[in-house]
Structure 1
Amino acid sequence: MPSILSVLSTGDIAALIWLFAAWIGIGYLTEHPPKNHPSVTVLMVNYRHEWMRQFITRQPRIFDSAILQTLREGPTFFASACLIAIGGGMALVGNPERLSQVAGELELGGVPTVLWQVKVITALFFVANALLKFIWSHRLFGYCAVMMASVPNDPADPLATIRAHQAAEINVTAAKSYNMGLRNIYFSLAALGWLVGPWGLFVTTCFVLGLTWRREFASHSRQIMLQDLPKIGKI
């Protein structure tokens, strides 16, 4: 069986570097945007803190528990989907004959089987990373629920603001993990473009990169969030 490096062409290596560079770059830019052009992720931090500020005086607090339950459903769903995808992908990687058959059906039979395995594993890397992020996000939202329950009902209690701030910070961290999980899902789809060759990977990476950037920095929802920003602040 040929080694991995021997079956990777210069185009494959360049496209693979572009894939990971785009993944790391958009992740960093999303979490650390320019101060004069915040991302949706950063804008939502302020609204999450505002949520906890309103939570202190809201009676009853059933509305807040419903919101938190909804937030936990997202990581639960995607974690389950990732487990299914990983199982299917590993079954495919472990069956070289099936990979060769798929290659033949796609009229790409000249590609070595080991390269097909590398391509599938690359996509599974992002899916597995997403799974870990979704699991951690779900657990953090659970921590947030407990901390919200510890906020005193009396707004005058000095612990009310402190614990609400702690709950807000945990909520923000959980949301970041969830967003990173979604970003991994996007780039796992981009990695599938490698199945048709290095140019396919380059194109799908550019598409996912543009899509992710637009949703964080040029979406209509971002414009709506900016309208009331001066009135929103951290606890």
Structure 2
Amino acid sequence: MGDSFHLSTADLVALAFFLFVWVLHTLASDGKLVSRMSLTTAMNVQREAWMRTMAEREIRIVDTAIMAGLQQGTAFFASSSLIAIGGCFALVGASDQVVSMLSDLPLGATSSRSAFQMKVFGLVLILAYSFFKFGWAYRLFNYCSILIGAVPIPHGEA
């Protein structure tokens, strides 16, 4: 019960660095840091060209295969996020043993049990966020697959 929650200076610096990099990555991937076209914008142009080409095809096996591959990758990362969340809960359950083991390592700084649990809880939040993002992407792939199936056959070929 006397376990106090205390983050070291290194912990606070690591947290600040992580948040800084997260914001920087978000701004960079949205194309707000540079004036040239971002990868996301370039991919949007290519996806639009792909859909125009797909609408001209009578047989869309290639398009459905591409969608299936993309959807499987998204499902893999969503399930990996869930497995990692389970691993974090296992860490919380064994936090006394983990903190004891980490204190035996020559890392310089040790963490209290409650501080360790708070760090793991932070990982759980990040992994839960990633799970929901991948889950949403999976849902969007389902919608896109339905829309590909609904595109009419090109005129004059039916």
User: Given the two structures, how large is their TM-score scaled by the length of structure 1?
Assistant: 0.59
Q: Which runs of 5+ in 1 are unaligned?
A: 157-235
Contact 2:28 2:34 in 1 (8 A): no
Question: What is the distance in 2 between the residues matched to 1:43 and 1:100?
Answer: 46
Ranges of 4+ aligned residues in structure 1 off by more than 3 Å = 1-4, 33-36, 107-110
Contact 1:56 1:155 in 2 (8 A): no
Partner of 2:116: 116
Partner of 1:193: none
Aligned: 1:41 with 2:40: yes
Q: CA deviation at 1:122?
A: 2.3
User: Given the two structures, how large is their TM-score scaled by the length of structure 2?
Assistant: 0.85
CA offsets 1:20-58 (integer angstroms, 9 cap, x no match)? 121022112211335742222221111001000101101
Aligned: 1:53 with 2:71: no
Within 5 Å, give how 1:142-221 maps onto structure 2.
142-155=142-155
Name the SS for the 2:135 alignment partner: helix
Q: CA deviation at 1:140?
A: 0.7
Contact 1:92 1:98 in 2 (8 A): no
Question: What is the distance in 1 between the residues matched to 2:132 and 2:105?
Answer: 32
Question: What is the distance in 2 between the residues matched to 1:9 and 1:110?
Answer: 9
Partner of 1:222: none
State the identity %: 34
Partner of 1:141: 141
Question: What is the distance in 1 between the residues matched to 2:110 and 2:30?
Answer: 42
Question: What is the distance in 1 between the residues matched to 2:57 and 2:81?
Answer: 37
Contact 1:78 1:134 in 2 (8 A): yes
Q: CA deviation at 1:113?
A: 1.5
Within 5 Å, give how 1:66-105 maps onto structure 2.
66-105=65-104
Q: Which runs of 5+ in 2 are unaligned?
A: none
Contact 2:4 2:112 in 1 (8 A): no
Q: CA deviation at 1:147?
A: 1.2
Q: CA deviation at 1:144?
A: 0.5
Name the SS for the 1:153 alignment partner: coil
In the comparison of the two structures, how many residue pairs are matched?
Answer: 154
CA offsets 1:103-147 (integer angstroms, 9 cap, x no match)? 134345842122222222222322221111111111110011111
Question: What is the distance in 1 between the residues matched to 2:38 and 2:104?
Answer: 42
Name the SS for the 1:38 alignment partner: coil
Partner of 2:15: 16
Question: What is the distance in 2 between the residues matched to 1:54 and 1:35?
Answer: 30
